[in-house]
């Protein structure tokens, strides 16, 4: 009886293992959709919530990204770093002269992850709205 129990245990372990040499690749991309924006109105910061946004960043594990705003798309590369205790993203675009680039400098955008876990823009540093994105 003892040998049967050992055999059953070994069989259970063997058949529960995945012997597939080529496991399916998981989608490791990150998607961030616009959740809202904040603007200065007569000295007061006003936040506007967005539902069902068509403004999305799709970040791929290889360092490339796609920014979709409605029917329009831009592509480029991003770098992730950490400084001052914040995770930061720098998006560099293939096309540098586009109205879809929301930044104080040409061809790049700077973002960070805020305390609520939102991807947060820095366009407000040059009078643009502060953009907030939630991870999808």
The pLDDT tens digits for 36-65 are: 999 988 889 999 999 889 999 999 999 999
| pLDDT score for 26 | 53
- Exposure string over 88-123, b if 16+ CB within 10 A, otherwise e: ebebebeeeeeeebbbeeeeebbbbbeeeebbbbbb
- Residues with Cβ within 8 Å of 31's Cβ and at least 6 positions away in sequence, in order, are 56, 57, 58, 59, 135, 136
User: Quick one: pLDDT band at residue 72, thresholds 50, 70, 90?
Assistant: very high
From residue 38, alpha-carbon distances to 47, 103, 106 in Å are 4, 15, 22
72 vs 28: which has the higher pLDDT: 72
């Amino acid at each position: 009886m003892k040998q049967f129990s050992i055999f059953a245990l070994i069989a259970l372990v063997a058949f529960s293992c995945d012997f597939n040499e080529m496991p399916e690749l998981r989608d490791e991309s990150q998607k961030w959709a616009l959740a809202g924006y904040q603007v200065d109105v007569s000295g007061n910061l006003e936040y506007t919530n967005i539902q069902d946004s068509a403004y999305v960043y799709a970040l791929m594990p290889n360092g490339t990204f796609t920014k979709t705003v409605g029917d329009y798309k831009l592509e480029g590369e991003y770098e992730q770093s950490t400084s001052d205790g914040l995770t930061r993203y720098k998006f560099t675009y293939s096309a540098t002269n586009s109205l879809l680039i929301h930044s104080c400098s040409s061809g790049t955008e700077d973002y960070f992850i805020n305390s609520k876990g939102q991807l947060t823009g820095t366009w407000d540093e040059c009078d643009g709205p502060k953009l907030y994105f939630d991870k999808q």
